[in-house]
């Protein structure tokens, strides 16, 4: 039957063109793929060089070493196959110049990429592709991949990076590393990974292993496979040794989450290859005096982030802190860092007369003898007014029972005394600190503000380390809270109040 040239719609061409598929072959025979190179899909069982569902032809076909590609051109337009690089080892039936109606084949004995052109393939303005020149194509001949195990890198006390290389020889290759040594039960394998670059170039591959033992030697091997579970040959076993245990390292980082009474301390610890404990030291100077609860990091040879949140801090106060870590090889101390808690918001004072008030000391919730009786809110204490009248009274509001390791309260500063110096002292009473061997008048906490705005001012005064220990021992601690307010002009005012901290 005489074949005549047909031009089909794009959908028809691509819909009829199945992806290049291997021809049916008996077991043991070379892999065969067939291809119609003319611009029409004339032969129903010979796929055109096109991808199903695509708007453009496919660019390459892959076969194994020793395979064949069969070509046909049964259209009425002359065509041929011209190799632009390395040519196959054996070809037959392919005309040397463009010819009408022929069949041929090429056998590929060596792996590599073979490129060819066809002068008429999809190169006609009347075809569905118009003037498009889809004439350059490739046949990839896949060989047997090779691999090599290279030296490990990045060793720590508990980790290492295993390295190797793979030449895929045109195949998609899967690989993993096998390793064994002290603390490893039998042979362990890293997760399987895929090298998808099906080319003819060597590629570096690697995988991280963890949970190793310090100062030990391990063996490892790169294992690669492709196709129907074919294992790549050529890799040899290599060894590496983890680092010995060392003292930890501690790095203090900047504090975060600063508030009036809170802050989060940050740092990095390298445990040095074995379990290590750590904590933060902190205080209002570089003597610190307080520390966070100890915590433990598991054995590791890398840096790990650590943190601790402080509460019941004093607003508007600068604190110093540092990170401390320790294992059996010794301690490590990070550098000193500092932060400042935020200050309470300033309240606008209301206009009032500005006479000064005399110094008055009060030790109960009642006005002192001889002063005018003035109503006070529950749990508060006021200074009596100066003789003959004057500015409103300073008021101390303080709960009789406090909880935690700090005392909280407020002071109402008269408008006339805005900018006054405020000092709050926590003093021991009776024998509360007998086991600390201090007198009953010892100071166990202090807060000083050089300038305090008028209005209601909140304060928090933390107990010192010895008072905290006494509180933990006795479960309660009797204190006297002494407040001294010194205006810029005029005499100081003193308020004293008893509280129990639990």
Which CATH number does the domain housing residue 101 bear? 2.60.40.420
What tokens appear for 171 in the block?
């195949």
Same domain, 295 and 214: no
Same domain, 21 and 134: yes
CA dihedral for 319, 325, 331, 332, sign (positive or negative): negative
- Phi and psi at 248, nearest 5°, equal -70, 170
Same domain, 217 and 303: no
Task: Please choose, from the candidates 461, 480, 472, the residue with its C-alpha nearest in 3D space to the C-alpha of residue 502.
Answer: 472
Same domain, 134 and 64: yes
Q: How far is CA 60 from the centre of its chain?
A: 41
Same domain, 61 and 118: yes
346 domain residue, yes or no: no
Cα distance between residue 233 and residue 203, in whole Å = 16
Cα distance between residue 470 and residue 366, in whole Å = 31
352 domain residue, yes or no: no
Cα distance between residue 335 and residue 333, in whole Å = 7
136 domain residue, yes or no: yes
Is there a contact between 148 and 222 (Cβ–Cβ < 8 Å)? yes
Residue 414 parent element (H or E): none
Same domain, 127 and 176: no
Neighbours of 381 (CB within 10 A): 24
Same domain, 60 and 125: yes
Same domain, 87 and 165: no
Same domain, 59 and 177: no
Using the CB atoms, write b or e for 394-416: b if 16+ within 10 Å. bbbbbeeebeebbbbbbbbbbbb
Mean pLDDT per 10-residue run, the chain (502 residues)? 30 29 45 73 61 53 88 79 86 88 91 80 48 64 92 94 95 95 93 92 95 94 89 88 94 96 96 94 94 93 94 93 95 96 76 45 34 41 50 69 82 84 80 48 85 86 86 83 84 83 84
3 domain residue, yes or no: no
345 domain residue, yes or no: no
**Of 82, 111, 142, which marks where a domain is finished?**
142
376 domain residue, yes or no: no
Tell me the helices (H) and strands (E) count for the chain, helix number first: 2, 36
CATH number at residue 202: 2.60.40.10
pLDDT at 281: 97
**Of 77, 111, 142, which marks where a domain is finished?**
142
Q: How many domains does the chain have?
A: 4
377 domain residue, yes or no: no
Q: Which domain holds residue 116?
A: 10-142
Same domain, 186 and 208: yes
What tokens appear for 347 in the block?
């309240």
pLDDT at 407: 87
SS3 221: strand
pLDDT at 385: 52
Same domain, 138 and 154: no
**Of 241, 261, 289, which marks where a domain is finished?**
241
pLDDT at 34: 82
Q: What is the DSSP string of 233-294?
A: P----EEEEPPPP---EEEEEEEES--SS-EEEEEEEE--SS-EEEEEEEESSTT--EEPPP
Using the CB atoms, write b or e for 42-57: b if 16+ within 10 Å. bbeebbbbbbeeeeeb
Going from the C-alpha of 169 to that of each of 22, 63, 149, 195, the distances in angstroms are 20, 12, 17, 11
pLDDT at 420: 87
Same domain, 270 and 322: yes
């Amino acid at each position: 039957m005489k074949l005549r040239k047909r031009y089909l719609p794009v959908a028809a061409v691509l819909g009829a063109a199945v992806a290049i598929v291997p021809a049916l072959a008996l077991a043991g025979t070379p892999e065969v793929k067939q291809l119609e190179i003319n611009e029409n899909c004339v032969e129903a069982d010979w796929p055109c060089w096109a991808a199903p569902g695509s708007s453009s032809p496919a660019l390459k076909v892959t076969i194994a070493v020793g395979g064949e590609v069969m070509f046909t051109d049964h259209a009425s337009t002359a065509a041929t196959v011209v190799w632009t690089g390395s040519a196959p080892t054996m070809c037959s039936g392919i005309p040397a110049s463009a010819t009408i109606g022929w069949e041929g084949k090429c056998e590929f004995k060596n792996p590599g990429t073979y490129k060819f052109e066809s002068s008429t393939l999809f190169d006609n303005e009347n075809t569905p592709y118009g003037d498009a020149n889809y004439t350059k194509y490739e046949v990839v001949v896949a060989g047997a991949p090779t691999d090599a195990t290279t030296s490990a890198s990045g060793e720590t006390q508990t980790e290492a990076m295993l390295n190797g290389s793979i030449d895929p020889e045109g195949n998609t290759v899967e690989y993993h590393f096998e390793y064994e040594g002290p603390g490893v039960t039998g042979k362990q394998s890293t997760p399987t990974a895929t090298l998808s670059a099906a080319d003819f170039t060597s590629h570096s591959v690697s995988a991280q292993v963890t949970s190793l033992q310090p100062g030990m030697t391990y063996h490892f091997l790169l294992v690669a496979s492709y196709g129907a579970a074919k294992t790549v040959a050529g890799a040899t076993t290599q060894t590496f040794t983890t680092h010995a245990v060392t003292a930890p390292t501690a790095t203090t980082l900047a504090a975060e989450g600063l508030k009036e009474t809170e802050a989060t301390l940050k740092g990095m610890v390298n445990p040095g290859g074995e379990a290590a404990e750590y904590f933060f030291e902190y205080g209002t100077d570089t003597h610190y005096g307080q520390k966070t609860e100890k915590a433990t990091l598991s054995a590791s040879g890398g840096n790990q982030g650590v943190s601790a949140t402080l509460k019941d801090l004093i607003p508007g106060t600068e604190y110093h802190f540092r990170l401390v870590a320790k294992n059996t090889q010794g301690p490590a101390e990070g550098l000193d860092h500092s932060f400042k808690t935020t200050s309470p918001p300033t309240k606008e004072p209301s206009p009032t007369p500005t006479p000064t008030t005399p110094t008055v000391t009060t030790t109960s919730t009642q006005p002192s003898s001889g002063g005018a009786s003035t109503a006070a809110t529950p749990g508060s204490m006021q200074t009596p007014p100066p003789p003959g009248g004057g500015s409103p009274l300073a008021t101390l509001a303080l709960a009789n029972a406090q909880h935690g390791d700090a005392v909280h309260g407020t002071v109402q500063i008269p408008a006339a005394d805005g900018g006054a110096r405020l000092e709050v002292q926590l003093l021991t009473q009776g024998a509360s600190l007998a086991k600390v061997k201090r007198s009953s008048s010892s100071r166990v906490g202090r807060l000083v503000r050089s300038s305090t705005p008028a209005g209601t001012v909140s304060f928090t005064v933390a107990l010192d380390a010895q008072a905290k220990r006494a509180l933990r021992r006795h479960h309660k601690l009797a204190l006297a809270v002494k407040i001294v307010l010194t205006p810029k002009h005029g005499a100081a005012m003193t308020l004293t109040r008893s509280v129990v901290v639990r």
